[in-house]
Structure 1
Amino acid sequence: MNGSFRKKPNGSVELRVWLDMPDGSHVQKSFCRRTRALAKAAYEEFLEKGKQTQARRKSVGGWGAEWLERKEQSVKYRTYANYELYFNRYILPMLGKMSLDKVMPADIERLMGSAAHLSKSARHHIFITIDQIMKSAVANGLCSRNPCEGIKVKPDATFKNITVYKPDEIACLLSHLDRPFGVAIAILLYAGLRSEEVMGLHWRDIDRKNRTITVRRVVTRVAKGEFAPVDVTKNERVRVVTYGDQLAAVLADAPKTSIYVVPAKRGGYMTPGSFRRQYDSFFDGLPIRRLSPHKLRHTYATYLIKGGAELRAVQTLLGHSSVKVTEIYTHINTDDQRRASQKLAY
């Protein structure tokens, strides 16, 4: 403390101190109380209030960066990468310079409005990120309330029709499963696994007697530029997928040169990049569209439901957390609509 006490004519004690200001200047301030102890206590209370005021002026950008640092140590890299992406690309440009205690619900609505062109999933992730940042700010005394409370992510303005393979295209794919990478195509199409699940699939995960596949791991990003198999059974429920005669025949004939069902050239696990290159090569010369690997999962789900499969059973096979997600496959495509309209009885 850079200051001094002096007794005033009225008997009170004055504490004079020099304060360092943010701009580098120095200002003298006095604290008068009945005793030295009370004067010093008043000075310390003033300092504490100043710290709180300064803390409350922390910006969304500054606190968000600190929050991301802590998150990097406590969540999977893939989750952290999503937080970082949505924070830097959407939240920082719009709210970054605002003080945490100045952010209003209207600002959150403005942020979400600027993301209206994105998918519901992307908008959900943006909202989750800013909501968690503001919750942590409240918990640390940097603002008194969370402006995200009461805000809801609006659904897509229009329904986006899911693209799937047509029956003649599926027939073409199935007739070429003897090509390299055909086993992966068969698993995607007959079991509806995600590509990262196919990459992490071991032969011991397949019960050929009972015709089940147990999803135990995925190949995912674990650090910048680094991918590895990650066990999903620790934090998630084990998913068991049943399959039929068609996939059983493909798996019976598949070479078993590695612990991985769809291995890389040297026998280890595939990375997403090599998986996609092999996938794209499979389509070379075929007279059909080359949709993404995930569209094979969409195809699997759509044709299950069109074939009469019960919605909850399909939810379990796909590993959806909610049947609401599975309901997107109950859409009717244009060809079905056309055929239905021709059956009008009048």
Structure 2
Amino acid sequence: GAAKNTLIAYGRDLAQASAVLEGGLATADSAALARLARSWAPLKRASAARKASAVRQLLAFLMAEGLRTDDPGRDLALPQAARPLPKVLGAGDVTRLFAVLAEKLAAAPDDPATLRLSALIELLYGSGLRASELVALPRHALKAGRGHMVITGKGDKERLVPVSRRAEAAALAWSQHVPASSRYLFPAGRAGSAAGHLTRLRLWQLVKSLAADAGIPPQRISPHVLRHAFATHLLEGGADLRIVQTLLGHADIATTQIYTHVAAATLVELVNSRHPLADESN
């Protein structure tokens, strides 16, 4: 039930671990695993933790299947990955982004590339979709006037996603340019194609380009940053944490709680920069 990209990452981790142990991963003992753990020392904690998890799961599987009688993976320490605060855009950044988008639409209201960009950005920020969920939307995912759509997210889990009136209008305007033979709302190729959908890399490039036009440093933005902004701005506006968890499709509310820290950090920064005594020394 894991996402395709998750399976690819775990497969790559196991292949690399096997290479370090010269093909002896399946028969590795505690000493070999300690050597493997040392090879991960230069990595970031999150990467090392994922690799250790993959190895532990493999060894537990081998024992469960009777392919080995012990499980040394139990003693393989999992590095505690510190969860960094996600990057977010301030309300001013979002306003500039959409202002530039509006200028592009005013200059070329019937340009398919501009209509597609508008639909992509509106859905990213307005519905909090993951990049992989957005590019793979079925052609008829949106229905006029319905106000929501049902998508298949991580782990093939379905969830209901709200769609604002402006996002719906943008998506429907773009859909007029999608070939009838396309399975996807955002097919591959600028003019549309019957096979395949827009890649995540191309989506990333489009978002970066729009940000540059809006005067936002490209390193500060990505499709996922717009998803972060969706969640953070909802919480700042008073939305319930459980509702945001549902909208984002998080299985664990602890994943959603990171956005409460972002909102709190924003408030602290506001007090430090705007309070009348902020510039006075102690």
Q: 1:306 to 1:137 in 2, by over 3 A?
A: same
**TM alignment of 1:1-150, pairs within 5 A:** 78-89=5-16, 91-92=17-18, 94-96=20-22, 103-104=29-30, 107=33, 111=37, 114-115=40-41, 117-120=43-46, 122-139=47-64, 143-149=68-74
How much does 1:214 deviate?
A: 1.6
Question: How many angstroms apart in 1 are the aligned matches of 2:81 and 2:42?
Answer: 8
Matched with 1:339 is 270
Residue 242 of structure 1 aligns with which residue?
162
Corresponding residue of 1:70: none
Instruction: Give the TM-score of the pair, scaled to structure 2.
Output: 0.74
CA contact (8 A) 2:242 2:253 kept: yes
Paired residue for 2:247? 317
Contact 2:33 2:73 in 1 (8 A): no
Change in CA separation of 1:237 and 1:183 when aligned onto 2, cut-off 3 Å: same
Q: Indicate conservation of the 8 Å contact 1:108/1:147, yes or no.
A: no
- Taking the aligned partners of 2:175 and 2:66, their CA distance within structure 1 comes to 60
Task: Give the distance between the partners of 2:40 and 2:58, measured in 1 at CA.
Answer: 19
Aligned-partner Cα distance in 2 for 1:155–1:277:
32
Partners of 1:139 and 1:255 lie apart in 2 by 50
Aligned equivalent of 2:201, options 273, 286, 290? 273
One-letter amino acid of the structure 1 residue matched with residue 95 of structure 2 = A
Where do residues 261-300 of structure 1 align in structure 2 (5 Å cutoff)?
A: 261-263=185-187, 264-268=189-193, 269-290=197-218, 291-300=221-230
Q: CA deviation at 1:196?
A: 1.5
- Which structure carries more helix by proportion? 2
Distance 1:75 1:166 in 2: 33
- The two structures have a TM-score, normalised by structure 1, of 0.62
Q: Deviations over 1:72-95 (max 9, x none)?
A: xx9976444223321233x23554
User: Which residue number corresponds to residue 90 of structure 2?
Assistant: 166
Q: Distance in 1 between matches of 2:24 and 2:169?
A: 61
Contact (CA 8 Å) 2:128, 2:230: kept in 1 or not?
yes
Tell me: higher relative CO, structure 1 or 2? Use CA pairs within 8 A at least 6 residues apart: 2
Aligned-residue Cα RMSD (Å) equals: 3.4
Shift of 1:112: 7.6
Counterpart Cα distance in 1 of 2:132 and 2:161: 15
Larger Rg: 1
Residues in 2 aligned to 1:303 and 1:119: alpha-carbon distance in whole angstroms: 29
**Percentage of matched positions with identical amino acids:** 23
Separation in structure 1 between the aligned mates of residue 164 and residue 234 of structure 2, nearest angstrom:
12
Q: For residues 32 and 125 of structure 2, what CA distance do their matches in structure 1 show? A: 45
Pair 1:311–1:123, CA change in 2 (3 A): farther
Aligned residue number for residue 54 of structure 1: none
Residue 308 (structure 1) aligns with: 238
Amino acid at match of 1:300: F
Question: Which residue in 2 is equivalent to 1:329?
Answer: 259
3-state SS of 1:209 partner: coil
Please list every run of 5 or more consecutive structure 1 residues that lacks an aligned counterpart in the other structure: 1-73, 218-231
Q: Which residue of 1 aligns with 2:135?
A: 199
